[in-house]
Chain A
């Protein structure tokens, strides 16, 4: 039997050339390329998870604006393994983005983008761009209310591109409004266009890895000299090189296995993102937000001054893209070791801190009003009737609580007003409420008689406890003085 299999294998191998096809896996690589070198293969593994789960999901997903939501409900709630598969696809995408980040950081810190691997880095940067494109289009295929409104936001953002903005916006919408043509184009881009391009670029990226070899770990004081590097690298491989498969690849297999286990655990226990309301544009309670890997950019755009937002929106990705693409062009030789390149360490650390901090801000979105704010409790208000109580009710009904905090309740868009009476006098409060400010509407024209007094009465009670006692004492003494005055 074994002999028969061997015969069949030999025949197939001779006619198809399987061994030749797989031979690059056995290419000789530097023996010290160990655990730091696993992120590229982990990214490829996550991509394969995405391809496999994406194909499986496409068996049930209908890319029609009218039916996609129902098929997602079916996949999530009724189809065997459907919820798990959706989870795998979502966390696979997250893992892919994370692994690309780790792969980029390692490649950059090891100076592996330098001669002769400049184009390996460049193709990697393009693959990062395509991956983020896949992430964004994938979020829209989760065709719920958030997705539908995210398309509108994307179109509005694209509308700011000079000269062609309106065209690009209409292209994204698939017309003048969200409609039948909107989802199908994102489906085509997500399922055919971008994966096709990615397959080609992954092939090119891998070809370049084989062509120039896996970079040897950097050694401080041994800079890259393009005139001698190739000969030195060949010498290194002759002296101590090992076949990639299996001598080095086993580490990649272990990390990829752990990655898949992590994706599966998250998919099983946490589950896929919950579907929002149906993608009905007449539902006006949506709050569109990007998935986590673009949330930091959402945070950045929200924190910068409004007047430069459009320029940053368009210019920042172009600037970062060009910077990353051309890093190996102007810095293709010299030291590779991170210990001799403090700016490389600083830029990676700063990027991680910046993205992390902006992600945190994006996650908490203090600039967004809190529409879920409930009326303040009697305990917080400190009254159950009278003008203070009425003022507290108005503070909720007029939307003030959507933007201001009172003892931890409300929104964070505006200043915390828990102790506002310590800072503003009665007159200041009146002026502020009536006239508003840059980020606050003027309530003067809309307040009915008595409402302003009630609001101010409530806000004047917002003092620190000891100040409140002082105020009560002041009030008592002034009342006593007034009483004495009255008795005289």
Chain B
């Protein structure tokens, strides 16, 4: 059998046109079926892997405390929980945010991610500055760049006071830096 296969592939001149046509048909059929099988398995596989791209971010307001929990003029770290985490997310469902109470009813929620490379900035209360541990980016208390490599001010999340509670929208990681 192997011999005939080898012969047939190396000596096509002995084949009749019907045989050639039949062979081409099976060749195309096999390649087509292999492609179909790959698609049946591959399409859902790729879809599953890239699904996070298309996961909708819930536009929910999350309560982070009562206004009286925060002093005017002070900046503090608050923990915001993902409103719809995956069941096995555990502590990774939390996000740290810097919250500043500006006036009686005005708050600013800063992303903790340095706009340079995303490292978590720290608040230096005595200096009234945010400072990044990675490359020394510094921001003023209003989030504007004070020094170092950050190209943009600290990202701000939507925050409001409603029903006697301070609320903010889900804290996503801002991919803010471009070329």
Chain A 156-196 interface mask (CB, 8 Å, partner B; 1/0): 11011010011101110111111111110100000000000
A148 to B89, CA, bound (A): 12
Q: If A153-B118, A177-B171, A368-B136 touch, does A282 touch B77 (CB 8 Å cutoff)?
A: yes
* Beta-carbon contacts under 8 Å, A233-264 to B: none
Stretch in contact with the other chain, from B8-16, B34-42, B121-129, B159-167 = B121-129
* Beta-carbon contacts under 8 Å, B121-153 to A: 121-122, 124, 126-129, 131-136, 138, 140-141, 146-149, 151
Question: Is there contact, CB below 8 Å, between B136 and A176?
Answer: no
Give the nearest-CB partner of B84 in chain A: A179
Question: Is there contact, CB below 8 Å, between B88 and A180?
Answer: yes
Chain A 376-387 interface mask (CB, 8 Å, partner B; 1/0): 000000000000
Question: Is there contact, CB below 8 Å, between A403 and B95?
Answer: no
Q: 30 pairs across A/B with beta carbons < 8 Å?
A: A64-B90, A65-B91, A66-B88, A67-B88, A149-B120, A152-B118, A167-B53, A171-B52, A173-B173, A175-B52, A176-B173, A177-B172, A177-B173, A179-B85, A180-B85, A280-B91, A281-B92, A282-B77, A282-B79, A284-B96, A284-B98, A286-B119, A368-B134, A369-B131, A371-B122, A398-B126, A441-B129, A441-B138, A441-B147, A446-B129
B170 partner residues in chain A, CB cutoff 8 A: 176-177
Q: If A66-B92, A441-B129 touch, does A156 touch B177 (CB 8 Å cutoff)?
A: yes
A280 to B121, CA, bound (A): 15
A360 to B86, CA, bound (A): 41
A369 to B172, CA, bound (A): 26
Q: How many chain A residues have a CB neighbour from B under 8 Å?
A: 70
State the Cβ distance, B80 to closest chain A Cβ, in Å. Answer: 8
Q: Assign chain B's interface to a size class.
A: 35 or more
Question: Is there contact, CB below 8 Å, between A176 and B172?
Answer: yes
B133 partner residues in chain A, CB cutoff 8 A: 286-287, 368-369, 371
Give the nearest-CB partner of B114 in chain A: A156
Determine whether B117 belongs to the interface, using a CB cutoff of 8 Å to chain A. yes
Question: Is there contact, CB below 8 Å, between A281 and B96?
Answer: yes
Q: If A281-B95, A288-B119, A413-B136 touch, does A65 touch B88 (CB 8 Å cutoff)?
A: yes
Question: Is there contact, CB below 8 Å, between A177 and B53?
Answer: no
Interface centre among A176, A178, A402 (most CB of B within 10 A): A176
A288 partner residues in chain B, CB cutoff 8 A: 119, 134
Q: If A284-B121, A398-B127 touch, does A148 touch B92 (CB 8 Å cutoff)?
A: yes
Give the nearest-CB partner of B134 in chain A: A368
* Beta-carbon contacts under 8 Å, A424-466 to B: 436-443, 445-446
Determine whether B72 belongs to the interface, using a CB cutoff of 8 Å to chain A. no
A177 to B136, CA, bound (A): 24
Determine whether A24 belongs to the interface, using a CB cutoff of 8 Å to chain B. no
Question: Is there contact, CB below 8 Å, between B129 and A367?
Answer: no
Which 7 A-B pairs have CB atoms at the shortest separation, nearest pair first?
Answer: A66-B90, A180-B86, A441-B146, A156-B118, A180-B89, A282-B96, A159-B175
Give the nearest-CB partner of A168 in chain B: B175
A153 to B124, CA, bound (A): 22
Name B residues whose Cβ lies closer than 8 Å to a Cβ of A. 49-50, 52-53, 55, 57, 77, 79-80, 82, 85-96, 98, 112-113, 116-122, 124, 126-129, 131-136, 138, 140-141, 146-149, 151, 170-173, 175-179
Question: Is there contact, CB below 8 Å, between A397 and B92?
Answer: no
Give the nearest-CB partner of A193 in chain B: B49
Interchain CB contact (< 8 A) of A369 among B77, B79, B136 = B136
A367 to B135, CA, bound (A): 6
Determine whether A217 belongs to the interface, using a CB cutoff of 8 Å to chain B. no
* Beta-carbon contacts under 8 Å, A306-352 to B: 306, 309-311, 314
Give the nearest-CB partner of B120 in chain A: A284
Question: Is there contact, CB below 8 Å, between B173 and A397?
Answer: no
Interchain CB contact (< 8 A) of A397 among B49, B121, B126, B132 = B126
Question: Is there contact, CB below 8 Å, between B119 and A153?
Answer: yes
Chain A 59-80 interface mask (CB, 8 Å, partner B; 1/0): 0000011110000000000000
A279 partner residues in chain B, CB cutoff 8 A: 91-92
A162 to B147, CA, bound (A): 26
Known: A176-B170, A367-B136. 8 other contacts (CB 8 A): A152-B118, A159-B178, A162-B179, A282-B79, A286-B120, A289-B134, A306-B151, A402-B124
Interchain CB contact (< 8 A) of B147 among A183, A278, A436 = A436
Interchain CB contact (< 8 A) of B149 among A289, A306, A445 = A306
Chain A 37-75 interface mask (CB, 8 Å, partner B; 1/0): 000000000000000000000000000111100000000
A175 to B175, CA, bound (A): 12
A155 partner residues in chain B, CB cutoff 8 A: 118, 173, 175
Give the nearest-CB partner of A399 in chain B: B127
State the Cβ distance, B173 to closest chain A Cβ, in Å. Answer: 5
State the Cβ distance, B79 to closest chain A Cβ, in Å. Answer: 4
A170 to B174, CA, bound (A): 10
B124 partner residues in chain A, CB cutoff 8 A: 398-399, 402
